[in-house]
Each structure stands twice: as structure tokens, then as C-alpha cells.
Amino acid sequence: MRSEDYRSIASRWISGVSIVTAYEDDEPVGAAVSAVMPLSLSPAQFAISLAASSSTLATIRRTGRFCVNILSSKQQDYCRRFSGPRDERFTSLDYHLGMLGVPVLGDALAHVECELESDHVGGDHVILVGAARAGAANDCEPLGYFGSRFWTLTPCA
């Protein structure tokens, strides 16, 4: 399949938007990730996919912990921030360290802290499966991504 065709098809998948975070040596790290899903209810697991070259992936593999911060509609700028220079991603950002010692972003739609259970290579990405250990959800609007653009959601009638 041609790369252009594949990208066009993939952009038609609507997804939520998240920032996956980790923490090592007093240094928070994170990446914008749309390939996230609740994998299992019993046991409670989340799956994420990160580029094999990601520095966030390397930190997660070393520490065995990560947090999926699901973004609210008011956090669109976080995606741009976490796509920019690594040393500026957490500057003046509202976050605290959660139960597992990973960054939890303030005002997120929801977050789930995970312990790494396994990883699987999938092309140029690595799929991580994490055991959900802690988390919370807030009552606010979600941020979506579709057609290479950010969206807010309106319920169908």
C-alpha cells in the first residue's frame, strides 16, 4: 500500500488525545499519543503505542511505569507542547506525581497510572500493555482527533 493512501485511511479514525508521561531521575518526560485504549476490564489494563525511537518509551521501559492522561477539550495546546522541544514540555505545566510516581496532568479528562506488564514490537512502534493501578475521571468535555484536526464532540440526538 502506498504511504499516502495509508496515511489518508488512518486519518479517518477518530480518537481521543492523550499525553503519556513517565518520570526518572527527577525528570518528567511525556509524549502526545492517540494510539491508546482500555484493553481489559479484568485484569484492568491499558495499551498504548509509541514510536520505537521515543525517549518516553525508553524511560517507561527502564522505570516500568507510565500514566495515560486523557485530554479535555481545553487542553489542545498540550499536543503542540508535547510535540515540541523535550526540555520545554513540562515548563509551567500543572501536574503532580501520582501514586506510582508518574506525572498526572491537572484538569485532564481522566488519567490512569499503569505498571508495565509487556511490550510488543509492531513495525516502527512498540505496543505497551500496562496494569492499571490508579486513576480518576473528571466531568469535562473530551478532545478528539480526526482528519488531522482537533475536534470537540457533540452528542447525537
Q: How many CA atoms lie within 13 A of 105 on its CB side?
A: 31
Residues of the chain above pLDDT 70, percent: 100
Q: Residue 55 falls within a domain, yes or no? A: yes
Q: How many domains are contained in the chain?
A: 1
How far, in Å, CA of 131 to CA of 133, rounded? 6
**CATH number (domain holding residue 56):** 2.30.110.10
Q: Residue 153 falls within a domain, yes or no? A: no
Count, residues in the chain: 157
Confidence band of 95 (pLDDT split at 50, 70, 90): very high
Q: Which of 90, 77, 50 is nearest to 143 (CA)?
A: 77
How far, in Å, CA of 1 to CA of 155, rounded? 35
Residues of the chain above pLDDT 90, percent: 78
Q: Residue 154 falls within a domain, yes or no? A: no
Confidence band of 157 (pLDDT split at 50, 70, 90): confident
How far, in Å, CA of 62 to CA of 83, rounded? 22
128 vs 83: which has the higher pLDDT:
128
Q: Residue 137 falls within a domain, yes or no? A: yes
Confidence band of 31 (pLDDT split at 50, 70, 90): very high
Query: pTM, whole model, 2 decimals?
Result: 0.93
E strand or H helix at 6:
helix 3-10
Q: Residue 150 falls within a domain, yes or no? A: no
Place of cell 479484568: 42
Q: Residue 123 falls within a domain, yes or no? A: yes
Place of cell 464532540: 153
pLDDT of residue 42: 97
Q: Residue 126 falls within a domain, yes or no? A: yes
Q: Residue 1 falls within a domain, yes or no? A: no
Taking every pair of C-alpha atoms in the chain, what is the biggest distance, in angstroms? 49
The model's pLDDT over 124-147, given as tens digits with 9 standing for 90+, comes to 999 999 999 999 999 999 999 988
pLDDT of residue 155: 79
Is residue 11 scored above 90 in pLDDT? no
| Structural domain boundaries enclosing 126 | 15-145
